[in-house]
Amino acid sequence: MGSKASKAKNKVKNGGVQSATAGSTPPSSRDPSARGGSQNSRRNSLDREQTLKNVRKVQDVYEMKSVLGTGGYAVVWGAVHKRTRQEYAIKVMKATSSSNPNDDEVSVDEIRNEIEVMKRIEHPNIVHVREYFVQNGKFYIVMGWLKGGELLDALLDLGNYTEQDAKVIARQLLEALSYMHVNNVIHRDLKLENLLLARPNDISSVVIADFGLARKAVNARQVFTTQCGTPSYVAPEILLGQSYTPAVNVWSMGVILYTLLIGSFPYAHSDQQTLFRIICSGKFQTSQPEWEQIGPEVKDLLRGLLCVDVKERLTAADALNHAWFTADNDASSKNLKASRARLHTFADSMKLQVKTFEPGAFLVRQGELGHEVYLIREGTCDVTVANANGSVSKVATRGKGDFIGEMAVSSEDGDAAAKPRTASVRAVDFVSATVLSKADMQWAVDHDYSLEGEIRSVIEARRAELDDASHRGGNEYSPDGGGGGADALGDGVAAMELE
């Protein structure tokens, strides 16, 4: 949901540390036992879910403005409620009906689970869900618009970065985790990429997002077995195939705090299986010069958070009562300049490829099949359609935060064999754009809601002109001076119709 796209990190797959799970059957990554208990409880859950479901079309209630970010299985749009004019973020996810989805797919049950978990929690440091829609195989989850972007980006923009800043962030996260644990919610994918800011450049407004792997326990004693999460953040008990509790969130919190303080992961290796073994050993890196820059209190807190023994690991509530938070000492004197420089490198490693375009260059050219989708970071573009009579119509302007892809158009003549045509997108000034895989993201751009409205407006205006010319028998709309009217330019108008 951030303002910038990040790479979709590999999730932990069944098996964890191979030597630790050999000879046993790994638990399913889609563990049905974690989704709820009896049939009655599922029916009750669905009944409660209906209180948030809006049966209208999302386009009838909200104006879809521009893409805020992409990642994993979702695209997040900025939107405005048509009646109240209040701004929201809408997370769009395409669901598969398969009961056994592939690793790169998300099922209807999983999306409903995310909605069910999120609607039950309300905390200033946790993203809030307002309502959701289901149409054409896609879910549209309406949430508060977090305008501060990604936490990591904001940290890199700080003029001065100190241990006190890390403390401000950590306190908010632990308060949110403590709240979640009291309410029997386990996030299971807590990481820096899922931390956003409600307000720009305000690190006191941290919000936890992306509850796609979260689960709601029946009670405080329920344990889970599904191996899931992001490798560098996952707790040892998950990797070892053991049952686990919300304590896995505390481990991930330790990884986040360490990274904020040092500028790199506490456990790192290029080989994933070796990484898993290092994590299970619990021996994090302390040899960096940055480790010597932080105080003894936070070092002790990190040891408590990153404790392999679950029984000895601090709880979120315990961590909030640690001396690092309660002692009367100001950590703002501990400058983390070197750690901040390492965070820059860390952040760059998570960013998707970026392309630049000079003024006049084409991002997408009509008539060509593209293989990439773009999310504009800086600059503006014109969207144009070449008509059958040789003229070109400008149908839209695109800028920062807008999603650009192969915008499908179709013929209006009813010919099922007609090939789809594309619009052209051309840089007006210098443009910088994040590159996304068309194979992964095509579903999200098949229906560019904001462009659809603009193109339809152009179509309606041109039809009105053509009707007027037809009534007057005019030829002024035909560039060759021949017969005018709707028949002469009908194919050009039809070429702009969206699928």
452: number of Cβ within 10 Å: 17
CA-only gyration radius of the chain, Å: 26
Helix (H) or strand (E) holding 444: helix 438-445
Residues constituting the chain: 499
Determine the residue type at 98: S
Residue 97 CA to residue 107 CA, distance in Å, equals 6
- Annotated active-site residue 165? The verdict is no
Instruction: Say if residue 11 carries a ligand binding annotation.
Output: no
Measure Cα distances from 411 to 145, 300, 491, 496 in Å: 37, 67, 7, 8
Q: Residue 21's Cα: distance from chain center in Å?
A: 32
**Please, which residues bridge with residue 375 across strands?**
403, 434
In this structure, what token pair is assigned to residue 265?
């992961």
Contacts 24+ apart (CB under 8 A), 237-242: 237/310, 238/12, 238/16, 239/12, 239/16, 239/17, 239/20, 239/276, 239/279, 239/280, 240/16, 240/17, 240/20, 240/21, 240/280, 241/16, 241/20, 241/21, 241/24, 241/26, 241/27
CA distance 154 to 161: 11
As a whole number of angstroms, the distance between CA 357 and CA 370 comes to 16
Q: Which two tokens stand for residue 466?
A: 């053509």
Within 10 Å of residue 238's Cβ, how many Cβ atoms?
Answer: 23
Dihedral, CA of residue 169, residue 174, residue 180 and residue 186, to nearest 10: 90
Question: Which phi and psi angles does 410 have, rounded to 5°?
Answer: -140, 160
Q: Read off φ and ψ for residue 206, nearest 5 degrees.
A: -70, 140
Cα atoms in the Cβ-side hemisphere of radius 13 Å centred on 324: 28
Q: Which of 93, 87, 144 is nearest to 114 (CA)?
A: 93
Q: Which of the residues 165, 189, 210, 448 is marked catalytic?
A: 189
Say if CB 211 and CB 118 are below 8 A apart: yes
Element (H, E) at 394: strand 392-398
- For 186, residues 6+ apart whose C-beta sits below 8 A from its C-beta are 180, 214, 215, 217, 224, 245, 246, 248, 249
Q: Hey, which residues are catalytic here? A: 189
Annotated binding site: 91
Annotated binding site for ATP: 91
